[in-house]
Structure 1
Amino acid sequence: MDRRSVLLCGLAAALSACGEPAPRKTGGAGTARPGDRVVAVSSVPDGSGVLVDMPGNAQLLVVQPRSGEFRAFNPACPHVGSMVNPPARGVITCPLHGSAFDASTGAVRKGPAESGLVEVAVVRSGDDLVLG
């Protein structure tokens, strides 16, 4: 490898491990099916939430808006599909254009998104949440 290739590879490594770029995560349950484990109940902070990796390079946003109440949403912002952040102070935000969603319901609070986050059914099964 010549010097230029080494430098370019070094730069690329910082961005994508110098090879195939990492596939972009999509929102939703991916290839999981009803009854498949999503996350341990203890991993979902009370009053907040967590992004959970799902099979098929997908993610879900699982929230616990009130103690013992769990909901899951497809974290793809309905505006252009970028992944939202877990909630802070009851609000889920999209870092790309600033849309805001209610952490309890997924309803849009502030645009540019014109619709809320899509809910994905989860149910508690012992110490875990599973797809409903």
Structure 2
Amino acid sequence: MTQPATRRTVLATGAVALAAPCVGCGGNDKSSSASGSSDKKELAKTGDIPEGGGKVFKERKIVVTQPKKGDFKAFSAVCTHRGCTVNQVADGTIDCPCHGSRFHIADGSVAHGPATRPLPAETIKVEGNSIRLA
């Protein structure tokens, strides 16, 4: 015959039940960095980025440019005007399709409005032929 649940038993059981789904939810970043977190994966090969041009990585919201041979830059692909994602790199600029803003590939500064603020720089690491987020 089982004993009726006491208030202490109910509270303890409820606390365990509430805590159980959170197991593994903590902020331990060691597992993601040890396994090569997705932020550190290769964006591109250096040969994928044309000299004097660049490439938009829409899914990562990053644009990587090569203003001059061997000089790689990265910027947010989110236009500072209204938050659209830029869609191409052409003729020395990073272009936004929404309202026509264009940004210089060398430093992300505004080449043509309506945007008034530059694209924020992103940090990349070039190792050998590999370009990764730093």
TM-score w.r.t. length of structure 2: 0.66
Equivalent residue, structure 2, for 1:12: none
Structure 2 residue 54 is the aligned partner of structure 1 residue 52: no
Choose the corresponding residue for 1:72, options 53, 71, 74. 74
Gaps of 5+ in 1: 1-30
Q: CA deviation at 1:32?
A: 3.9
Work out which of the two has the higher radius of gyration on C-alpha atoms and give 1 or 2.
2
2 CA distance for matches of 1:120 and 1:32? 16
Choose the corresponding residue for 1:38, options 22, 43, 52. 43
Q: SS of the residue aligned with 1:87?
A: strand
2 CA distance for matches of 1:73 and 1:61? 5
Equivalent residue, structure 1, for 2:118: 116
Backbone CA RMSD of aligned residues: 1.7
Q: CA deviation at 1:58?
A: 2.7
The answer as to whether partners of 1:39 and 1:52 remain within 8 angstroms in 2 is no
The answer as to whether partners of 1:100 and 1:108 remain within 8 angstroms in 2 is yes
The answer as to whether partners of 1:48 and 1:86 remain within 8 angstroms in 2 is no
Q: CA deviation at 1:117?
A: 0.5
Cα distance per residue 1:30-84 (max 9 Å; x no partner): x843x4322111111111111125xxx4331111111101011111101111111
1 CA distance for matches of 2:38 and 2:73? 17
2 CA distance for matches of 1:47 and 1:114? 23
How many residues matched? 98
Change (3 A) 1:32 1:80: farther
TM-score w.r.t. length of structure 1: 0.67
Q: CA deviation at 1:87?
A: 2.1
| Segments of 4+ moved more than 6 angstroms | none
Gaps of 5+ in 2: 1-36
Equivalent residue, structure 2, for 1:22: none
